[in-house]
Amino acid sequence: MKHEIFMICPPWKQYRIYKRSPMFLFDNIPPKLLKALVAFRFIENCLNQLSSPDHVVFIWVTEKYTEECKDYMKHLGYEYHKYLIWHRPKWKRGSSKKVLEYLMVYYKGKMYAPVLPFPDSLETPFTGRVKDRERKPADAYAMIEAMFPIRPKLQIYGFTHRTGWNVFHHNN
């Protein structure tokens, strides 16, 4: 089945290692690099093999890795459209400091993102709380489902199971 809507939550901590992969020979790949290569090639393969020619990608990224996200998606041939914000609590115990997490929107093909009715990124941030760090706010899914009610949807590296979504999670 070809999908038109993707939501991805990549392991961004591994991206800097992945970017250095051309510096190593194939017969001498360190374990951390191998893990990063598998993770980001898995995303590439899913997007190449499971997407229709026209599709939209929603990709989660913390504030720290936004430039890496733009670099990676540009490398894959995607056009950047905008981002939406989620204020999530910090996961360390004893800290109430909030962290910004972005849901960045990219597109490929004729599903031209400016035509899509996205809310303003700063006026309507996601506010949903989650129980653990693998989850994302339910209102992000609800927004995407409302915008694309009948389009086939796929979540890559996801943990949330919802009606209308297929989930692929590559275990490292």
Per-run averaged pLDDT (10 residues), the chain, 172 residues: 90 82 64 84 92 92 90 92 81 65 88 60 66 77 88 86 82 54
pLDDT at res. 124: 61
CATH class, 3-168 region: alpha beta
Q: How far is CA 13 from CA 61, 90, 107, 111, 114, in A?
A: 10, 16, 24, 30, 30
pLDDT at res. 55: 92
pLDDT at res. 93: 62
pLDDT at res. 92: 62
pLDDT at res. 120: 66
Phi, psi for 42 (deg, rounded to 5) = -60, -45
